[in-house]
Structure 1
Amino acid sequence: MCAVISLAVCSAKGGVGKTSVVLGLASAALHRGTSTLVVDLDPQADATSGLDVIAQREHDVAAVLRTPKRRVAEDAVAPSGWVDDQPGLLDVLTGSDASADLDAPGSDEEALTALRRALRKLDDHDLALLDTPPSLNGLTRSAWRAADAVLVVSDASRFSVAAVDRTLREVRALRNAPRVVGILVNRFVPRSGEQRFRYEELQSLFGDLVLEPVPDRVAVPQSQGAGVPLHALRTRPAQAVAGQFDAVLDRVLLQA
């Protein structure tokens, strides 16, 4: 992807707040003035909604995956409502429920490389954040092919430990595999003994890849409900969580 750093944010398990992590990273990038493209590969298109995309486009990410040409890709990109007065600083390759038709587990090579080919034509951002579905099927695998780095999102539960292990094994089995920059435990409740146990289990299994967990804070849904970046909230809890996303973004930019 030329000089663009691309990060695939993924999870094999639903309900861990993967898209919330993408929005947190987008907020961190915006806060520091890093030009960012969010690619919404999840058929639920929550990142498109969360980034307050209002502009209507003739094409969307499903059309881009079917026809990865420059004119189609450029027409599928819309500005985030977070940056009304700064065009190009935060854009979205808009999501669509039509992308579910492309999420087959046995996608062929042409389908898996379509996103990479399309993103090479969208090279006027410093960072691309690829929000994937909660699965390891065709859309997630196409993101891995397009990415320089992978961030695995988890929660502190028994089933997520197995999901993280499966994700890492499948990423590392790829030829020219992207770098895994970390495992981010989201919605962590430190007073829960079970969650502390599972977090320590992840640390014992995956060592330094396990990042400082993001606590379960009301500031995150508050920012999403208000349609504003997390960094725009001035409360102390919001700023603490925003600082954690700053640290994760620093790690991505340093290691990707």
Structure 2
Amino acid sequence: MGRIISVVNQKGGVGKTTTAINLGAYLAEEGKFVLIVDLDPQANATSGIGVDFQALEQGVYEAVLGQVRMKDIVQPTAHQTLRIAPATPALAGLNVELVDMDRREYKLHESLLEIRHDYDYILIDCPPTLGLITLNGIVAADEILIPVQAEYYALEGLGQLLETVNLVKARIRPDVDILGAVLTMYDSRTKLSDDVLQELYKYFPRNIFRSVIPRSVRLAEAPSFGRSIAMFDASSKGAKAYERLAREIIETELERMPAV
């Protein structure tokens, strides 16, 4: 059964979409079958992996509402074993549509049940809010991956996010866990980046990935070409960092296996 990981942080610009795309790409490069679910109305993961969302007639919005099956909206990418469930402009209305629905927090979870056996990993790129869309992303997940930008205000609101995850765990989905935090846009030349990393240990004493994502022009450029960094510049520092992160996450599969 596929491992579902939601990439979550209510702050914008911290590298959620960059992480979803490039982690997905390198998991695929490691031979895994991967699906990225673009749950952000901005559709940056969709366009960033090379799919023209404006040309699509349906996407995640219709799948979450049960109008189509999730498997019917999935699009191929340049990576042989990487697919994307695309966002379209209609997704912006999902928060409103969900308000009066029964089991509104479970809609994404239910739409993924049919296909989770088809993939080794399903990565959910959540929007920069803690609304109903993101709540669906958390409830649908087995684990939460939190990108944290190496900037002064990066930790602002992190406590609120952890509280939200804990509430979901207590009241809705007891088996959801925090996979960990990954530091993004790291600049080894600045003391600030190291200070943020040290502060992170207060929130995640045992759950910070060794792989640190550097601030990188090549990472920023890749989405404009509709390519992952693995396709755009595999020799760059950003590419090597996401390759290491993918391998770290694959290593954690052993920790999830029941003891014999």
Per the shorter chain, which TM-score range?
A: 0.7 to 0.9
Q: Is the 8 A contact 1:156 1:198 kept in 2?
A: yes
The reply on whether 1:19 has 2:17 as its aligned counterpart is: yes
Match in the other structure for 1:245: 245
Q: Structure 1 pair 236/65, CA: closer, same or farther in 2 (3 Å)? A: closer
| Aligned counterparts of 2:196 and 2:238: Cα–Cα separation in 1 | 25
Q: Structure 1 pair 253/51, CA: closer, same or farther in 2 (3 Å)? A: farther
Please state how far the C-alpha of 1:227 moved relative to its aligned partner: 3.0
For 1:219-238, what aligned pairs fall within 5 Å after superposition?
219-232=218-231, 233-238=233-238
Match in the other structure for 1:112: 105
Which of 39, 42, 51 is 1:41 aligned to?
A: 39
| Aligned counterparts of 1:102 and 1:252: Cα–Cα separation in 2 | 33
For 1:196-207, what aligned pairs fall within 5 Å after superposition?
196-207=194-205
Structure 1: gaps (5+ residues): none
- Paired amino acid for 2:140: A
Q: Is the 8 A contact 2:213 2:238 kept in 1?
A: no
Match in the other structure for 1:132: 126
Question: How many residues are aligned here?
Answer: 246
TM-score by length of 1: 0.86
Structure 2: gaps (5+ residues): none
Match in the other structure for 2:89: 97
Q: Structure 1 pair 98/200, CA: closer, same or farther in 2 (3 Å)? A: same
| Aligned counterparts of 1:252 and 1:131: Cα–Cα separation in 2 | 20
- Paired amino acid for 1:231: A
The reply on whether 1:143 has 2:137 as its aligned counterpart is: yes
Please state how far the C-alpha of 1:153 moved relative to its aligned partner: 1.3
Q: Structure 1 pair 195/109, CA: closer, same or farther in 2 (3 Å)? A: farther
Please state how far the C-alpha of 1:236 moved relative to its aligned partner: 5.0
* Identity rate, percent: 24
Match in the other structure for 1:61: 60
1:189-209 deviation line (CA, Å, top 9, x unaligned):
122222321221111332122
Please state how far the C-alpha of 1:147 moved relative to its aligned partner: 0.7
Q: Structure 1 pair 63/236, CA: closer, same or farther in 2 (3 Å)? A: closer
Q: Is the 8 A contact 1:39 1:93 kept in 2?
A: yes
Please state how far the C-alpha of 1:17 moved relative to its aligned partner: 1.3
Which of 155, 160, 168 is 2:154 aligned to?
A: 160
Secondary structure of residue in 2 paired with 1:103: helix
TM-score by length of 2: 0.85
RMSD (Å), alpha carbons: 2.3
Q: Is the 8 A contact 2:105 2:136 kept in 1?
A: yes
